[in-house]
Amino acid sequence: MAIPTHTDYLIIGAGIHGLSTAYHLALELKAAGKGDGSNILIVDKSAIGAGASGIACGVVRNNYFQPAMRELMAQCVEVWESDAKAYSYHSVGYMQISPDSMFEDVATIADQQKEIGYESTFIEGEKASMDYMKGIFHDWQAQGITSVLHEKHGGYANNTKALYGLAGKAEAEGVRILTGVEVTGFISDDGSNAIKEVTTSKGNISCGQLVVAPGPWAKTLWDMLELPKTVDINSGGEIHRDIPMWVYWSLQEGTLGVDPEMQKTNDGSMPPVIHVDSNSPLYSDVDGSLITDEMWGIYYKPDFHFNGVQGGAAPFKVETDPDKVAVDPYGVDSPEFIVGPEFAHMWTSALAHCQKRFEGQTPKYNDEASGGIGSFTPDSFPVFDSFRDNCYFIADSNHGYKMIGVGKLVAEELVRSKSALLEPFRFSRYIEGKLHPVSNSPFPWS
């Protein structure tokens, strides 16, 4: 397919956000009598799902301490459930299993899930939590757990299958997807702040509306658009000046190469996604040595797509030159960013801490590149907003894959009106002091 010189809507990025926006935008344009998918072009420098979306764990959950994130995720779960087959979505549920230090946070989540009609069960107390977990997994043995929040919706999707299913739906509506087209710059319209043309490795493309959905390459595109490199943040009336707009965290994920059937529940069903936060000492399943006596967290699920039990642990901040990471967010030239033996040791030991069936399984860890680098905003929450007159920027701050519904809301904003669900994620929240509350979880995105 030859690269066009003009399109009404140009979307950069063929990951979950770019594909979802394109598909839902095509539907919105058709419904409004303003065209169809043939007015929409997606470009990607590599391929569909070549970035974060293609290696995502695929977990879909509502479990957020922040009300705005909970409400947004309830909408996203509805989108996943709207075509589970095409999206390769498995609605098995999700469990947040926590110690006493997180009890109040999780109880608040449970109450507010009830308020928005999101079905979940909340278990309180150490004995009740242990009994509940043993009712699902006979070999459950994690100690110090005082609450279990069991979401009945949510679950996980098979990452690349979901993306190609979404791409197929978009193309069926007339959307064009061009891969191997790298964006190299932007040309402003004379006399305005709008983007007139996008320069690419295959030629220039003029557009009426630009949507940028770059995933971990957010800083690269942000800088090309000459958007602010730092922000001032109003926190409780105190202004913190010149905070870097982008920081990077190393995402720790991997797969234990066992039969996924191994993780079935007592009744033979495929289990919910398990997320455990703990402040109990974590000891090595290899030699019994202490790994950590500080707060730790893991998540895991059986997944035939990964051919094992797949999951991850809390990430760590990357202390390096952000400009270097922006160019190479997956560490192609930086081997130190690839998940290493420290993660494998910790994660497999944590699995054994939680369930007896995982004891002695560390040698079966798949020793291959996994995880990657996540691009985070100053408060670790997304920015969904319009810039440069005709540019909509989707900066997911690594919440991305599960948020398939964001593309639907962005499409509605572009064709109809502003979305109340996206309003809490505007760039202006930093200086206005409209910040999201912070939980006690060891994960920066919870």
The region, left, alpha or beta by phi > 0 then psi within -120 to 50, assigned to residue 231 is beta
Assess if residue 369 is contained within a domain.
no
H or E segment at 423? none
Assess if residue 306 is contained within a domain.
no
Assess if residue 59 is contained within a domain.
yes
For residue 55, count other CB atoms closer than 10 A to its CB: 19
Assess if residue 293 is contained within a domain.
no
What digits encode the pLDDT tens for the residues 181-237?
Answer: 999 999 998 778 999 999 999 999 999 999 999 998 999 999 999 999 999 999 989
Residues 318 and 252: beta-carbon distance below 8 Å: no
pLDDT at 331: 56
Instruction: Give percent of the chain above pLDDT 90.
Output: 79
pLDDT at 204: 97
pLDDT at 1: 59
Assess if residue 132 is contained within a domain.
no
Q: Tell me what the mean pLDDT of segment 87-92 comes to.
A: 96
What digits encode the pLDDT tens for the residues 250-287?
Answer: 788 899 999 999 999 999 999 999 999 999 999 999 99
pLDDT at residue 74 tops 50: yes
pLDDT at 333: 47
pLDDT at 329: 67
The number of folded domains in the chain is 1
Distances (CA, A) of 273 to 151, 154, 307: 10, 9, 16
Cα–Cα distance measured from residue 366 to residue 291, given in angstroms and rounded to the nearest whole number = 20
What digits encode the pLDDT tens for the residues 138-193?
Answer: 999 999 999 999 999 999 999 899 999 999 999 999 999 999 999 999 999 877 89
- Hey, what are 254's tokens? 């991997």
Assess if residue 256 is contained within a domain.
no
Mean of the per-residue pLDDT values for the chain?
92
Residue 30 belongs to a domain with what CATH number? 3.50.50.60
Q: Tell me what the mean pLDDT of segment 308-312 comes to.
A: 93
Assess if residue 17 is contained within a domain.
yes
- Hey, what are 91's tokens? 């609605």
Assess if residue 184 is contained within a domain.
yes
Residues 6+ apart with CB under 8 A from 388: 186, 188, 193, 194, 195, 210, 225, 227
Domain of residue 418 covers: 1-89+155-228+382-432
Helices (H), 124-263: 126-136, 159-172, 218-224
pLDDT at residue 335 tops 50: no
Cα–Cα distance measured from residue 142 to residue 274, given in angstroms and rounded to the nearest whole number = 12
Cα–Cα distance measured from residue 244 to residue 335, given in angstroms and rounded to the nearest whole number = 25
Radius of gyration of the chain (CA): 22
**Where does 174-244 show beta strands of DSSP type E?**
176-179, 183-188, 195-200, 203-212, 230-235, 238-244
